[in-house]
């Protein structure tokens, strides 16, 4: 399978795990050792300035913390869009990458926008490939605006519609709990 770094994984209609139901995951790392991603459409009920005050200056005032996934929920991860090569390691998508933990002033000046996540999604070797093969996930190229959407609750539906085709349009209309239909 091709490297999925910088791709979106949209939970397919058969994925009922409550951690991932109707989720949109940005694949940030993908290789022989497994994969790491961040759920883009799970804002938490707490703001960044309440949960991680030192990081509040990186985001818009009142910005929500996001639940990046079920792994290491106490881990804080900052995904940022940088001006030029202002300080991120391996880029995830274009000029979007992880903010370094030290957040030196030169790096801070290079951050155009950022989102703060608690936890991440992780897959062991071959696990993600197997799940994609079982159609648990729908793969779609990511866009910077997906990462920083102002409407995270609509992201799953909007990306499915963008993907096109009757199958994805129909899936985008599926209620969160199909039994309530």
pLDDT tens, position by position, 81-125: 988 765 566 689 999 999 876 666 666 778 899 999 999 999 999
pLDDT digit string (tens) for 131-151? 999 999 999 999 999 999 999
Confidence at residue 171, expressed as pLDDT on a 0 to 100 scale? 76
Mean pLDDT (whole number) for 47-59:
92
Mean pLDDT (whole number) for 161-175:
79
Give the pLDDT band of residue 13 (cuts 50, 70, 90): confident
Q: Which residues contact 83 (CB under 8 A, 6 or more apart)?
A: 95, 110, 111, 112
Residue 69 has φ and ψ, to the nearest 5°, of: 155, 175
Helices (H), the chain: 48-51, 105-109, 127-133, 144-147, 155-163, 166-172
CATH number at 7-180: 3.40.1740.10
Total-model pTM: 0.90
Residue 1 has pLDDT above 80, yes or no: no
What's the whole-number average pLDDT of the chain?
89
């Amino acid at each position: 399978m091709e490297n999925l770094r910088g791709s979106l994984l949209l939970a397919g209609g058969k994925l009922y795990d409550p951690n991932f139901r109707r989720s949109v995951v940005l694949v940030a790392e993908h290789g022989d050792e497994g994969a790491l991603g961040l759920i883009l459409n799970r804002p938490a009920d707490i703001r960044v300035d309440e949960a991680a005050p030192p990081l509040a200056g990186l985001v818009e005032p009142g910005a929500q913390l996001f639940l990046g996934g079920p792994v290491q929920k106490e881990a804080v991860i900052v995904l940022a869009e940088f001006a030029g090569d202002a300080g991120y390691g391996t880029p995830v998508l274009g000029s979007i990458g992880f903010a370094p933990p030290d957040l030196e002033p030169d790096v801070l000046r290079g951050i155009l926008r950022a989102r703060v996540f608690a936890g991440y999604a992780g897959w062991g070797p071959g696990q993600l490939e197997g799940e994609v093969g079982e159609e648990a996930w729908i793969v779609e190229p990511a866009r910077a605006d997906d990462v920083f959407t102002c409407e995270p609750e609509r992201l799953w539906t909007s990306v499915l519609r963008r993907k096109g085709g009757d199958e994805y349009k129909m899936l985008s209309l599926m209620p969160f709990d199909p039994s309530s239909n």
